[in-house]
């Protein structure tokens, strides 16, 4: 096919088809990361890793485990989720300047996960606890509410420890179950598990709950737990009751619970439905299930839905009803307040989405189960480090930004890291939002460092 030779078109083409040079050693995709690195230096993050990880490489090794884990944490925060992506970060001139040109390869990262002994899993959990405790030192004591949930993570290879369990999206595919515990409102991730896909949500839950309580800093007090119906179990209720922990847990719609709802409907004078809005109404009843050793408070929820005719048109004068039930030992909240409090637990689903999309929690690509769990625990530490950084140093209107947003408006805005020593600085394109953010951030870092010195 021959193209018409038109000088104007040729000139237009040449205007855009320009040559490229590859000699700029100051440009970076992640220049703003230097401020997170400053925060890490204040708390001596690398020493925190070294103090918890007992495994050591040979004395002549270029990188020790603390260096490698620190790099993997950086990669997770910046969005380099796969090991192959680490090479892109290693080629970033600005990042290399920040790390003083001392960065391991992706092979070194893989080899470390293989070499770390089994006890490193507990050591990484201890590292997470120490990190949270360090953060708590500069905060007032507080009561916390813990939200629990689990999620199915499909695997597409032959990963050790996966199994063909319930998989709503990829039916018949092997998967893992990941259980998480997240503090309500402030989003700290206390612990996680990597279990085979056949495990029920309630599998060894009390052991998991106790590990979360153990992870809490001394000045954080567990007030309440919230969980969905997968954790509906008298053993869980009894544990909380015996240990002075409040619980608000959704009930399974099993026969005993359905009979309670029928009984409430048959006795409206004794158990009147209180209307919350045009859709929801609540009532409550104290009663034991047949297998229980004591009665407990049930908050019953009725959802009104208009019926539809044969054409699918809604008949607003006729209704059908759906029911839910919540079991709780919180006596000082009304039934409506219990319902509203439980609904706040829904934020954990948003956090799980952030963990999956932002930190690749659902990408367990190593054949070895230990390697997958170790990398998952490193991502947990990265999540908490980023969460602490944004809530401590960034402007208040950015505290609830998810990691994908922070990368778009802060971490991953290109710039040039120029100069050296006291004359080092970053040159960005004009950006009013970023300018105000960094001005606030630098002041906050200086003030925090002074506070740490005084403490």
Q: 348 near 147, Cβ under 8 Å?
A: yes
Q: Same structural domain for residues 393 and 447?
A: yes
Question: 118: which residues sit within 8 A by CB, 6+ positions away?
Answer: 370
What is the residue-level pLDDT of the chain in tens, covering all 455 positions? 555 567 776 777 788 888 888 888 889 999 999 999 999 999 999 999 999 999 999 989 999 999 999 999 999 999 998 888 899 999 999 999 999 888 999 999 999 999 999 999 999 999 999 999 999 998 899 999 999 999 988 888 788 888 888 777 777 788 889 999 999 999 999 999 999 988 999 999 999 999 999 999 999 999 999 999 999 999 999 999 999 999 999 999 999 999 999 999 999 999 999 999 988 999 999 999 999 999 999 999 999 877 665 555 555 556 688 999 999 999 999 999 999 999 999 899 999 999 999 999 998 888 899 999 999 999 999 999 999 999 999 999 999 999 999 999 999 999 999 988 888 899 999 999 999 999 999 999 999 999 888 87
Distance (Å, whole) CA 147 – CA 183: 6
* pLDDT at residue 183 in the model: 97
Structural domain total, the chain: 2
Q: Same structural domain for residues 332 and 378?
A: no
* pLDDT at residue 48 in the model: 97
Distance (Å, whole) CA 230 – CA 237: 13
The closest of 351, 432, 441 to 396, measured between CA atoms, is: 441
The answer to the question of residue 311 being in a domain is: yes
Q: Same structural domain for residues 378 and 304?
A: no
* pLDDT at residue 62 in the model: 92
Which of 324, 344, 364 is where one domain is finished? 344
* Cα angle value 233/235/240 (rounded, 5°): 105
The answer to the question of residue 381 being in a domain is: yes
* pLDDT at residue 412 in the model: 96
Helix residue spans in 53-165 (DSSP H): 65-78, 83-90, 93-98, 106-115, 120-136
Q: Same structural domain for residues 418 and 318?
A: no
Question: 127: which residues sit within 8 A by CB, 6+ positions away?
Answer: 48, 49, 52, 53, 381
Instruction: Copy the structure tokens of residue 284.
Output: 């409550």
The answer to the question of residue 199 being in a domain is: no
Q: Same structural domain for residues 112 and 34?
A: yes
Instruction: Copy the structure tokens of residue 92.
Output: 């970033």
Question: 197: which residues sit within 8 A by CB, 6+ positions away?
Answer: 152, 162, 163, 164, 165, 166, 167, 174, 175, 176, 177
86 DSSP 8-state letter: H
* pLDDT at residue 318 in the model: 62
The answer to the question of residue 12 being in a domain is: no
The answer to the question of residue 127 being in a domain is: no
Q: Same structural domain for residues 239 and 331?
A: yes
Which of 329, 344, 359 is where one domain is finished? 344
Tokens 């439980």 sit at which residue?
A: 342
* Cα angle value 58/61/67 (rounded, 5°): 110
Q: What is the largest CA-CA distance in the chain?
A: 91
* pLDDT at residue 317 in the model: 59
Q: Same structural domain for residues 377 and 334?
A: no
pTM attached to this predicted model: 0.93
The answer to the question of residue 94 being in a domain is: yes
Q: Same structural domain for residues 428 and 339?
A: no
The answer to the question of residue 239 being in a domain is: yes
Residues spanned by the domain of 248: 234-344
Q: Same structural domain for residues 337 and 383?
A: no
Q: 48 near 130, Cβ under 8 Å?
A: yes
Instruction: Copy the structure tokens of residue 352.
Output: 């799980």
Q: Same structural domain for residues 336 and 256?
A: yes
The answer to the question of residue 148 being in a domain is: no
Which of 298, 328, 344 is where one domain is finished? 344
The closest of 290, 292, 300 to 327, measured between CA atoms, is: 300
Q: 30 near 411, Cβ under 8 Å?
A: yes
């Amino acid at each position: 096919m021959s193209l018409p030779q038109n000088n104007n078109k040729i000139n237009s083409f040449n205007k855009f088809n320009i040559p490229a040079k590859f000699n700029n050693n100051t440009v970076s995709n992640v220049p703003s990361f230097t401020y997170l690195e400053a925060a890490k230096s204040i708390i001596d993050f690398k020493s925190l890793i070294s103090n918890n990880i007992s495994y050591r490489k040979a004395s002549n090794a270029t990188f020790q485990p603390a260096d490698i884990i620190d790099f993997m944490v950086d990669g997770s925060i910046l969005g380099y989720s796969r090991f192959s992506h680490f090479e892109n970060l290693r080629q970033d001139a600005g990042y290399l300047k920040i790390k003083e040109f001392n960065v391991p390869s992706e092979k070194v990262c893989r080899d470390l996960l293989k070499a770390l002994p089994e006890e490193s899993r507990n050591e990484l959990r201890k590292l997470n606890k120490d990190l949270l405790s360090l953060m708590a030192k500069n905060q007032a004591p507080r009561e916390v509410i813990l939200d629990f949930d689990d999620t199915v993570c499909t695997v597409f290879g032959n990963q050790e420890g996966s199994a063909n369990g319930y998989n709503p999206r990829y039916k018949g595919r092997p998967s893992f179950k990941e259980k998480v515990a997240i503090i309500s409102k402030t989003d700290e991730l206390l612990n996680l598990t990597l279990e085979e896909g056949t495990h029920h949500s309630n599998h060894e839950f009390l052991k998991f709950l106790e590990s979360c309580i153990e992870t809490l800093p001394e000045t954080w007090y567990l007030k309440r737990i919230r969980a969905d119906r997968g954790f509906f179990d008298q053993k869980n209720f009894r544990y909380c009751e015996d240990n002075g922990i409040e619980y608000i847990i959704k009930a399974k719609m099993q026969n005993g619970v359905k009979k309670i709802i029928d009984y409430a409907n048959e006795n409206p004078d004794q158990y009147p439905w209180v209307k919350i809005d045009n859709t929801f109404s609540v009532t409550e009843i104290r009663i034991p299930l047949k297998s229980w050793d004591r009665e407990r408070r049930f908050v019953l929820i009725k959802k009104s839905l208009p019926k539809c005719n044969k054409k699918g048109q809604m008949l607003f004068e006729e209704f059908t009803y759906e029911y839910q039930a919540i079991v709780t030992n919180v006596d000082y909240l009304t039934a409506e307040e219990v319902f509203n409090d439980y609904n706040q637990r829904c934020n954990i689903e948003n956090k799980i989405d952030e963990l999956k999309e932002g930190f690749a929690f659902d990408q367990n690509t190593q054949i070895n189960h230990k390697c997958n769990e170790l990398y998952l625990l490193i991502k947990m530490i990265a999540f908490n480090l980023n969460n602490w950084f944004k809530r401590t140093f960034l402007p208040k209107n950015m505290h609830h930004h998810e990691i994908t947003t922070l990368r778009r408006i802060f971490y991953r805005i290109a710039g040039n890291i120029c100069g050296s020593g006291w004359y080092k600085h970053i040159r960005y394109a004009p950006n009013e939002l970023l300018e105000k953010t960094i001005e606030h951030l630098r002041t906050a870092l200086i003030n925090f460092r002074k506070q740490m010195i005084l403490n």
